[in-house]
Amino acid sequence: MSATNKIEFTKPFSINCPKCGHLNVFNQPYAYHAGFGDQGFLYNDDGNLTLTWSVYDSEFTRIAGNVNPWVLNDQEKVKAFEDWLPNPPHGGRWRFGNPARCLSCKSEILPPMGRNIYYVLYDGSIEADSLSKGEFKSLKDLKEKFAG
**pLDDT digit string, tens, across residues 93-128:** 999 999 999 999 999 999 999 999 999 999 999 999
Phi, psi angle pair for 3, to nearest 5° = -60, -30
Q: Of the candidates 133, 22, 132, 146, which has an alpha carbon nearest to the alpha carbon of residue 86?
A: 146
pLDDT one-digit tens code per residue, 36-90: 999 999 999 999 999 999 999 999 999 999 999 999 999 999 999 999 999 999 9
pLDDT on residue 7: 63
pLDDT on residue 10: 73
* Residues in CB range of 18: below 8 A, 6 or more apart: 107, 109
Q: Of the candidates 45, 43, 40, 44, which has an alpha carbon nearest to the alpha carbon of residue 57?
A: 40
pLDDT on residue 79: 97
C-alpha span between 84 and 132 (Å, rounded): 21
Q: How confident is the model at residue 146 (pLDDT cuts 50, 70, 90)?
A: confident
Indicate the domain borders of the chain.
11-146
Is 131:57 a contact under the CB 8 Å cutoff? no
pLDDT on residue 1: 45
C-alpha span between 13 and 137 (Å, rounded): 25
Strand order in the sheet with 94-95: 94-95, 39-44, 50-54, 126-128
